[in-house]
Amino acid sequence: MSWLDRFARPKVRGLFRKDDIPQDLWEKCPNCEQMIFHRELENNQRVCPHCDHHLRLDARKRLTYLFDDGEFQTIELPEVAADPLRFRDRKRYQDRLRDARSETNQDAVIVAHGTLGGHSAVVAAFDFAFLGGSMGVAVGEALLAGARLAVLQDSAFIVVPASGGARMQEGTLSLMQMVRTTVAVDELKEAHLPYIVVLTNPTTGGVTASFAMLGDIAIAEPGAVIGFAGVRVIEDTIREKLPEGFQRSEHLLEHGMIDMVVRRHDLRATLSKLISLLRNTAPTAEVVELARPQADET
Ligand SMILES: [Zn+2]
């Protein structure tokens, strides 16, 4: 062992202790693989400045970007049975829940209210980091609570899904949430309130098959994967190669499945415009009475 190994290396190491270097200074874009300075990415609403790829966003940040001045009030969501089926795969579902909760301290959805472009609005935002944003009983409850709050406050309801679909650890109970969330949407429609969905990457499975496709207006972020079954499953079933960009927002827009593709930076302005259009039921111009034929002429 030379003096370099014995003496110089530990000294140099000592100068740069591991904890001095922040781990999250740089982030790699999953699309173009460029390294992006963490702060630059945050300042750009987590959209890659090189290729405009929309990176995943956690629920709280999503709410901050949507509400006016980033201010909102989250609501307390109903408690549900934590592990109704006592499910266990490689790990106990209870442990999975506990681990996921220790990071975010909630289930896969946060519901908040506040103003959006001056209009009162309730927003339910999904967190993909929480068990893949999967829809269990807690998510169903959250959406029902959100819809009911919107009715109570006479405001628009906006849902921003990011979900792999049903939560398999809750079996049939998870599938029942497809019905419950549809009921939630119906309650809004009965109250004549706008219900807008902002589909983000990814929105798949039972979520796509229920409330996510029932919006009065369906918006999607650019490049988001939106579909029911995955590409490989469909290709294996129909034994055919699917076209490039299949199940991406732009493809769905071209085929009439969604209404618009909106960049993250423009979401708030677009939503605000839509809410004011949907809520303003007054005629756009002065109503002119048409001359009616005289009774005796008929
Ligand atoms: Zn990129």
Give the residue-averaged pLDDT of 253-258: 97
pLDDT value at residue 16: 57
How do residues 195-219 score in pLDDT, each as one tens digit? 999 999 999 999 999 999 999 999 9
CA of 55 to the centre of ligand 1 (A): 9
Q: Are residues 134 and 29 in the same domain?
A: no
Q: Residue 184 and residue 141: Cα distance in Å, rounded? A: 9
Model pTM?
0.86
Are 92 and 163 found together in one domain?
A: yes
User: Ligand 1 center to residue 242 CA distance, Å?
Assistant: 24
- The answer to whether position 6 is within a domain reads no
Q: Which of 94, 201, 78, 96 is nearest to 140 (CA)?
A: 78
49 and 65 in one domain? no
Query: Does 7 fall in a domain?
Result: no
pLDDT tens-digit series, residues 43-93: 999 999 999 999 999 999 999 999 999 999 999 999 998 899 999 999 999
Same domain for 25 and 84? no
Distance 201 CA to ligand 1 centre (A): 15
Which domain covers residue 39, as residue numbers? Answer: 12-55
Determine the distance from the C-alpha atom of residue 50 to the mean position of all C-alpha atoms in its chain, rounded to a whole number: 23
Confidence of residue 8 (pLDDT cuts 50, 70, 90): low
Is residue 131 located within the same domain as residue 226? yes
From ligand 1's centre to the CA of 14, what distance in Å? 35
d(CA 264, CA 46): 9
Reported as a single tens digit per residue, the pLDDT across 17-32 is 555 555 668 999 999 9
Residue 290, pLDDT score:
84
Structure letter (DSSP) for residue 229:
S
Does any domain span residue 87? yes
Q: What is the pLDDT of residues 263-287, one digit of tens each?
A: 999 999 999 999 999 998 777 788 8
Please indicate, yes or no, if residue 118 is contained in any of the structural domains. yes
Per the structure, the count of domains in the chain is 2
